[in-house]
Amino acid sequence: MGTKIDFLYLSEPDMIASGVKNMRQCVDVMEEMLVTLHKGDYVMGGENHNSHGCMVTFPDEPKFTGMPKNGEDRRFMAMPAYLGGKFQMAGMKWYGSNIENKKQGLPRSILMMMLNDKDTGAPLALMSANLLSAYRTGAIPGVGAKYLARRDSKVAAIVGPGVMGKTALAAFVSVCPGLDTVKIKGRSQRSIDSFVAFVKEECPQIDNIIVCETMEEVICDSDIIAATASVGDKESMFPFIDDAWIKKGALICMPSAARFPEGFYLEKDTRLVVDNYKLYEAWADEYPYPSYDPVQVVGAKFMDLLHEGKIKKEDIVDIADIITGVQKGRQNDDERIIYSVGGMPVEDIAWGETIYKNALAKGIGIKLPLWDIPNLA
């Protein structure tokens, strides 16, 4: 094989040219990834091999000049993983996040993805990952809608019209051809205007866009609900959704957090579904009960209810069991389904590997040298 190593650099325009915004393909890739994950052909971080990643946060009052101060969304995060199956790829997403970035016209988080040869560890690609991360995040709710939404779904509700809200809607549209209306609830006119512009450009099948003033208004009569808003530090601060507002047969996709009446989780016509059960077990180990406050993903609430003995393990369904036919998807037109979306680095690996292969096939990107012969081999 020789010792010479180079790798492909893909800028954001390169990623777009390589198909990173192809949501229909992304949903298909995420479905394949979830099945591979369920078979166990993967490794993520931590002793349990299911960790979301490793996060660096800062003190409220730093003692050292130059050290960043804790603040909203102020962190660095490393998300490493290996994914087998058809992917056979290792890599890591790395990002820094700071809500103050928006004042400079920058995204809250700035993300990069490194793909590595699974055997040698050699770099294969370094790529811009904001769009990669956004589209894989939206595609997981899309997989849920494919298997769990009513076939006659027409109205989607987006609580939090930011990046996750945009890509979640794009995914819903890609798998639910009857969707023609979106209702949105946002905090700022700027985010609402940006979302409306996105819908008009990216989701032409949507004929009606309704801006709602209250949570009740946006939730009522919606067939698919995506809670994608940023939340507070404790469940008591999460956006409240009364189960009386949720129509029969609705699918509630939760890449973020919300507060429901506890009885809603326990009702016989409510079904609890997660994207990867082992991820929530890992979070329960890393953030001992109660986990929902620090994790802020509704599957952690399921684990808290399990810890309290209010539900049983078999009450929590893994989406891969539905994809593979081990369990039924939607069982009737009246059941209401809460689908928890946690976000995992294997998703970045799967979509990153796909876009990398697309770029190679199309001759896109810049080849950068690492070395011809390593100096200290």
Query: How do residues 257-298 score in pLDDT, each as one tens digit?
Result: 999 999 999 999 999 999 999 999 989 998 989 999 999 999
Which pLDDT band, with edges at 50, 70 and 90, does 233 fall under? confident
Domains of the chain: 5-132+346-368 (3.30.1780.10), 138-344 (3.40.50.720)
Q: What's the token pair of residue 171?
A: 């995914």
Q: What are phi and psi of 209, to 5 degrees?
A: -120, 120
Look up residue 162 and give its two tokens. Answer: 């930011």
- Of 327 and 72, the structure prediction assigns the larger pLDDT to 327
Q: Kindly indicate the confidence band of residue 1, based on its pLDDT and cuts at 50, 70 and 90.
A: low
Give the confidence band of 179 by pLDDT, cuts at 50, 70, 90. very high
pLDDT category at 137 given cuts 50, 70, 90 is very high
pLDDT class for 235, splitting at 50, 70, 90?
confident
Tokens of 348: 């970045």
Residue 72 in this model has a pLDDT that exceeds 90 = no
For 64-80, b/e burial (b = at least 16 CB within 10 A) is eeeeeeeeeebbbbebb
Average pLDDT over residues 306-330: 96
Band of pLDDT at residue 43, cut at 50, 70 and 90? very high
Q: Are strands 270-274 and 336-340 parallel, antiparallel or unpaired?
A: parallel
* Mean pLDDT computed over 81-108: 95
Query: Which amino acid, residue 322?
Result: I
Rounded CA separation 86/107 (Å) = 32
Q: Give the model's confidence band at 237: pLDDT under 50 very low, under 70 low, under 90 confident, else very high.
A: confident
Predicted local distance difference test score (pLDDT) of residue 10: 98
Over 90: is that where the pLDDT of 73 sits? no
Mean pLDDT of the chain: 95
What is the pLDDT averaged over residues 191-215? 95
pLDDT of residue 46: 84
Residue 256 pLDDT: 87
Residue 218 has pLDDT above 90, yes or no: yes
pLDDT in tens, 31-41: 999 999 999 99
Q: Give the H or E element holding residue 54.
A: strand 54-56
How distant, in Å, are the alpha carbons of 126, 128, 140, 325 from that of 297? 29, 26, 14, 26
Q: In this structure, are residues 215 and 239 in contact, taking their beta carbons and an 8 Å threshold?
A: yes
Helix (H) or strand (E) holding 148: helix 130-148
Alpha-carbon distance of 67 to 335, in angstroms, equals 50
Least confident interval from 46-55, 127-136, 182-191, 217-226: 46-55
d(CA 168, CA 265): 23
